[in-house]
Structure 1
């Protein structure tokens, strides 16, 4: 049976408070303002804890919408469509936003040796996971689309902000990185408008601005990857950080009793299949965390932990399918299990 996002929107809005601060953080004389919109294929909520007008949130959402209109694969006429239409033919001039995200995306594609690959568009469209057209493709279809994936075939002309895909049939998918950029940009807009205490929550991408209004760290819920979004497995204390999670719960469909989630393996053409249920990264910049989660998910707990430990300013939480939780050293004391069905383990 297909997982239908539209049917869950109402429930997600109701329980979304579980994802944002779990502890009291509001001074008596401050009334927070919060707005929720459906953007980037997910429920997005921005909550401001300063005495600011609602218009500051509107400005942040307008910026997210601007990014979505340039980079979405689900809207006709975007810049990504233009690049796909010109694949194998010519360069296409794109906006500074799109060029920046493509440059970042290619960098992280190289860093992951293709485990995260922004030219995965043909495969994403084939599976259709998270849309009403989700289906299990044939092996021959998968093989055909896999042959079109190669980040090395994305050419970037930095001088003129032009891009080109070398082969016809290729296409881009920025679903693994554009939310992170949107969170960073939304936070920038809020700060430019005098906001000092806020939470930007774009589905699995959360960005906490400074501390809460009492000067203490925010307590952010880390999603239980076996439940509907909003049910936390634990709580994480952060100050001025982004918390980004990729997991098997986000988008999936079921066929013949088997779940097929949206985190695709470009090498096999199928959803990534290891012992991980989710990876949560904690760092300073959301676009970086967004791109890295897919590679670290692919690496699994042992190699993923090694990767994180070699990156300055990066911390991680790994949740396995048997409900074991591993955290990097920098988060010890800042993360607590709140659901007794999970067990915090010593580092592997």
Structure 2
């Protein structure tokens, strides 16, 4: 009889501007993964700002003119993003005008004039968004404002794929949206049932891990300064812009990885911890946020909330610290 618990279905797709890797164990079928990809495409069609038409582009095109009604899911995700943005810790769903000014990671990247940066700061104010819970409408009050959910959408979509898998009876699998990981259930290919999660070396090409972490069901998401850079006049600028200053946020961190219950929470927490400039003395794991890994520019790895026995250093040129 076939060992269904260890049966593996895997497919690779392209979406959200990245590679999508879906792996399911047990009795899952290829059609289940295709359904998952179709769900992803539907959300991308609604949420993208990289096409001329989408629900979000309708909102942006009407900035300063009128409210726009959107679907339930787009409205609820926007509401979460705006609420989070109003906490003013660095996450900002309206930062699009600044991103397009710098263009870091895209052709035409440049250091904008101070005056140009200053002129955009009024357009990224999250208090200038009007949400109507009855009509599901979004209104950007100033012309030129732009709503961009790219910093939170992958996590939201990963969570919705997990919901689909639960409805289909898929008890374990890996949802990898361009490095945004969601690990569902136990890992049937390991006797201890724990997943092995590689932590990217921020100083080398993608795919090189410096740590391996054993962990149960979770989402693992990393924010780093190493993939989208602008080098000019002897200086290097990364793409994580500070909405308070309009410039890349400067600290000693190369990357932050968080382990959370939901993937959308991981997206938020990586930003929160990056702008906190490292682990805080009073940081404690919660029922939603399990642990975090900070990698500094001086090659120190700081571990919070994870057991030393579950963390394996793969490159001894890094210094390992448990907080």
TM-score over 0.5 (shorter chain): yes
- The alpha-carbon deviation at position 275 of structure 1 amounts to 0.2
Task: Say which of 133, 140, 144 aligns to 1:158.
Answer: 133
- The equivalent of 1:92 in structure 2 is 68
Task: Say which of 152, 155, 177 aligns to 1:202.
Answer: 177
Alpha carbons of structure 1 residues 225 and 155: separation in structure 2 relative to 1, 3 Å:
same
Asked if structure 2 preserves the Cα contact closer than 8 Å seen for 1:114 and 1:151, the reply is no
Asked if structure 2 preserves the Cα contact closer than 8 Å seen for 1:108 and 1:292, the reply is no
1:177-326 aligned at under 5 Å gives the runs 177-213=152-188, 214=191, 216-303=193-280, 306=282, 308-309=283-284, 311-314=286-289, 315-326=291-302
- The equivalent of 1:171 in structure 2 is 146
Asked if structure 2 preserves the Cα contact closer than 8 Å seen for 1:114 and 1:150, the reply is no
- The alpha-carbon deviation at position 215 of structure 1 amounts to 5.3
Asked if structure 2 preserves the Cα contact closer than 8 Å seen for 1:208 and 1:238, the reply is no
Asked if structure 2 preserves the Cα contact closer than 8 Å seen for 1:88 and 1:165, the reply is yes
Which protein, 1 or 2, shows the higher relative CO under an 8 Å CA cutoff with sep ≥ 6? 1
Asked if structure 2 preserves the Cα contact closer than 8 Å seen for 1:42 and 1:203, the reply is yes
Alpha carbons of structure 1 residues 327 and 160: separation in structure 2 relative to 1, 3 Å:
same
- The equivalent of 2:112 in structure 1 is 137
Separation of aligned partners in 2, 1:47 and 1:153:
41
**Is the partner of 2:183 in helix, strand or coil?**
strand
- The equivalent of 1:337 in structure 2 is 313
**Is the partner of 1:309 in helix, strand or coil?**
coil
Alpha carbons of structure 1 residues 132 and 285: separation in structure 2 relative to 1, 3 Å:
same
TM-score of the superposed pair, with normalisation by structure 1: 0.86
Q: What's the Cα RMSD here?
A: 2.0
- The equivalent of 1:72 in structure 2 is 48
Asked if residue 36 in structure 1 is aligned to residue 12 in structure 2, the reply is yes
Where structure 2 has 5 or more consecutive residues not aligned to the other structure, the ranges are none
Alpha carbons of structure 1 residues 317 and 114: separation in structure 2 relative to 1, 3 Å:
closer
- The equivalent of 1:121 in structure 2 is 96
Asked if structure 1 preserves the Cα contact closer than 8 Å seen for 2:4 and 2:26, the reply is no
Separation of aligned partners in 2, 1:126 and 1:38:
27
- The alpha-carbon deviation at position 225 of structure 1 amounts to 1.2
Alpha carbons of structure 1 residues 85 and 336: separation in structure 2 relative to 1, 3 Å:
same
**Is the partner of 1:142 in helix, strand or coil?**
helix
Alpha carbons of structure 1 residues 117 and 175: separation in structure 2 relative to 1, 3 Å:
same
Alpha carbons of structure 1 residues 79 and 29: separation in structure 2 relative to 1, 3 Å:
closer
Separation of aligned partners in 1, 2:181 and 2:224:
14
- The alpha-carbon deviation at position 282 of structure 1 amounts to 0.6
Where structure 1 has 5 or more consecutive residues not aligned to the other structure, the ranges are 1-26
Asked if structure 2 preserves the Cα contact closer than 8 Å seen for 1:204 and 1:246, the reply is no
- The alpha-carbon deviation at position 331 of structure 1 amounts to 4.2
What's the CA shift string for 1:214-246, capped at 9, x where partnerless?
Answer: 451001101111122211110111211101110
- The alpha-carbon deviation at position 318 of structure 1 amounts to 0.7
- The alpha-carbon deviation at position 260 of structure 1 amounts to 2.4
Alpha carbons of structure 1 residues 336 and 70: separation in structure 2 relative to 1, 3 Å:
same
What's the CA shift string for 1:40-67, capped at 9, x where partnerless?
Answer: 1222211122242211111111111111
TM-score of the superposed pair, with normalisation by structure 2: 0.92
Asked if structure 2 preserves the Cα contact closer than 8 Å seen for 1:324 and 1:345, the reply is yes
Using the TM superposition, name which of 264-273 and 309-318 deviates more.
309-318
Aligned length in residues: 318
Which structure carries more strand by proportion?
A: 2
Asked if residue 63 in structure 1 is aligned to residue 39 in structure 2, the reply is yes
- The alpha-carbon deviation at position 29 of structure 1 amounts to 7.9
- The equivalent of 1:17 in structure 2 is none
